[in-house]
């Protein structure tokens, strides 16, 4: 897929069965961060599925950790503990924000991308929930998270990003307090629809929508026109807490 010059470059690192080791993806992010910061690489979005792993953000508490001896990788993003694995589409934008004060609007753009694609392409109504980061399904039972967001912004260049549950097994979330939230559940596109929707299925639509959402944040752009509501700003689970800007 050709990418307009005013859009980030999209790179698919690996989808099932070619799962990507978390540490390898982290090294790729760090390398790209240095290159984007130095101006030797364009803003880039990595798309992938990870091999099974738990990762702990800066705000993870001991009580959030797995209830067995499953290994956990500490990472430099905001947020708390989460799981990545096969069937979950992970999106890592490594982009230079033209306005370093636009982090909240950037997070909302990631959330809005998921919300719009789920509604338009799959008929799933999702939303933000006040006081909680990510994208949620509400009503018809308890609140359940379908996409998680955790970021780091250093010298105005972003790393980490969003994880959208597509066709993954939800059992690994039962072994932890996902994102530090004990009174809500998790779900996936497949669980909501009763049919399998894989990361490869949703990737083209998500990539197209995300390109539109990210374009206003890039250097030389006019800036975002869609403003973020108060939901993100009042969240105690703000995924960018602890990020160096």
Instruction: Please identify every residue annotated as catalytic.
Output: 179
Q: Are 56 and 90 in contact (CB under 8 A)?
A: no
> Would the annotation count 79 as a binding residue?
yes
Task: Flag whether 81 is marked binding.
Answer: yes
194 is known to lie in a ligand binding site: no
Strands 88-94 and 127-129: unpaired
Angle formed at CA 129 by CA 208 and CA 223, multiple of 5 degrees: 45
Q: Is 149 annotated as a binding residue?
A: yes
The answer to the question of whether 161 is labelled as a binding residue is yes
Q: Is 78 annotated as a binding residue?
A: yes
CA–CA separation, 170 and 86 (whole Å): 11
Q: Is 14 annotated as a binding residue?
A: no
Q: Are 13 and 31 in contact (CB under 8 A)?
A: no
Is 15 annotated as contributing to ligand binding? no
Is 163 annotated to bind a ligand? Reply is yes
- Count of Cβ atoms closer than 10 Å to residue 27 Cβ: 11
User: Is 131 annotated to bind ligand?
Assistant: no
**Cβ distance 23 to 75 under 8 Å?**
no
Whether residue 147 is annotated as binding a ligand: the answer is no
Inter-CA distances, 7 with 11, 12, 96, 155, 218, Å: 13, 16, 12, 20, 8
What does the block give as tokens for 12?
Answer: 């698919």
**Any known ligand binding at 158?**
no
Contact 75, 46 (CB under 8 A): no
What's the rounded Cα separation, in Å, for the pair 217 and 7?
Answer: 10
Return binding residues for substrate.
Answer: 77-84, 148-150, 161-163
Return binding residues.
Answer: 77-84, 148-150, 161-163
């Amino acid at each position: 897929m050709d990418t307009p010059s005013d859009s980030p470059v999209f790179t698919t690192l690996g989808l099932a069965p070619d799962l990507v080791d978390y540490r390898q993806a982290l090294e790729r992010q760090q390398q790209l961060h240095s290159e984007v910061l130095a101006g030797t690489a364009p803003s880039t979005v990595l798309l992938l599925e990870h091999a099974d792993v738990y990762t702990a953000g800066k705000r993870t508490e001991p009580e959030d950790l797995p209830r067995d001896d499953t290994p956990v990788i500490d990472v430099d993003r905001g947020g708390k503990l989460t799981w990545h694995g096969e069937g979950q589409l992970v999106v890592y934008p490594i982009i230079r924000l033209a306005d370093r004060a636009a982090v909240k609007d950037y997070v909302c753009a990631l959330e809005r991308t998921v919300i719009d694609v789920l509604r338009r392409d799959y008929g799933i109504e999702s939303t933000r929930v006040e006081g909680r980061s990510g994208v949620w399904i509400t009503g018809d039972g308890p609140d359940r998270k379908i996409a998680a967001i955790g970021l780091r912004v250093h010298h105005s260049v972003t790393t980490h990003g969003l994880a959208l549950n597509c066709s993954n097994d939800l059992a690994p979330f039962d072994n932890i307090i996902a994102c530090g939230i004990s009174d809500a559940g998790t779900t996936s596109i497949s669980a909501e629809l009763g049919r399998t929707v894989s990361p490869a299925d949703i990737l083209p639509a998500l990539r197209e929508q995300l390109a539109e959402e990210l374009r206003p944040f890039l250097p030389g752009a006019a800036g975002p026109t869609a403003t973020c509501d108060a939901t993100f700003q009042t969240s105690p689970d703000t995924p960018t807490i602890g990020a160096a800007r």
